[in-house]
Amino acid sequence: MTRRRGKKSKKTAHVMNPVNSESPPSQFVADEVDDELKKAKQELEAVQHKLDFQKLCNFTLANDHQKALTILELDKKLIEKQSEINSLTHQLDVEKLVSSRAKIQQDTQDLMLKLKILEDEEDQEAALKMEQETTESLRKRSNQLKEALKSNLKIKPWKDCQLCFQEFAINVDMVPRLLQCGHTICSACLRKLMKPTYTKCPFDGAVWRSSTTETVDDFPKNYKVFDM
């Protein structure tokens, strides 16, 4: 520094060589320039320092800005998630409502069906008719068994409809029909059993809903009875 300063002073002194008598002495000029240079250097340093500080501030600001952006992004994601959860919860509630409504409807239908069956069974006339029919078929069956015993025939009850005790056949009325519960009865008996909205198995009391358009032909044929 000292060396450079000395050199500079010399050079300045040479440049600023006085041309007239009013000019200040060369050493004075050199010192003045040196001071200005020092000041300028200081100012530069100050500016540099300020700039560095500003850079640091900017960096911090940028950093803060980035942080703020990240926070905003996270907030956005959080809100999206929350809204997704809300939507799902809502959907779940709706599904629950729909399913409970369906359950209530199902229960109501079941109750109405039970009520209908009770009403039908309370129908004295119908009950009496059914009883008479059963008595008649039992009488027939009794006669059949007597005949079978007399002629030493093998009795195969599965070959007969267990409601009317007539032998299954492929003719329209005696076609064996399989019920949903697994029992098999003839088409004629099934036709009598079928109510407009339901069918009830006479052997185990199983009930299943049927549409008004359903006929005996909608029940599967059970020709297995012929092979046994």
Residues that bind Zn ion (CB under 5 A): 161, 163-164, 181, 183, 186, 189, 201, 203-204
Least spacing, CB of residue 121 vs Zn ion, in Å:
17
Beta strands in the chain (DSSP E): 176-178, 184-186, 198-200, 207-209
Whole-number Cα distances in Å, 131 to 121, 126, 136, 201: 12, 9, 8, 16
User: Which residue's CB is nearer to Zn ion, number 80 or number 204?
Assistant: 204
Residue appearing with tokens 């020709």: 223
For residue 142, which phi and psi values (nearest 5 degrees)? -60, -45
Q: Tokens for 69? A: 């952006």
Least spacing, CB of residue 199 vs Zn ion, in Å:
10
User: Which residue's CB is nearer to Zn ion, number 29 or number 160?
Assistant: 160
Instruction: For residues 12 and 28, give the distance between their C-alpha atoms in angstroms, rounded to a whole number.
Output: 11
User: Which residue's CB is nearer to Zn ion, number 30 or number 165?
Assistant: 165
Report helix, strand or coil for 122: helix
For residue 219, which phi and psi values (nearest 5 degrees)? -90, 135
Least spacing, CB of residue 193 vs Zn ion, in Å:
9
Least spacing, CB of residue 181 vs Zn ion, in Å:
3
User: Which residue's CB is nearer to Zn ion, number 16 or number 186?
Assistant: 186
User: Which residue's CB is nearer to Zn ion, number 59 or number 208?
Assistant: 208
Least spacing, CB of residue 140 vs Zn ion, in Å:
11
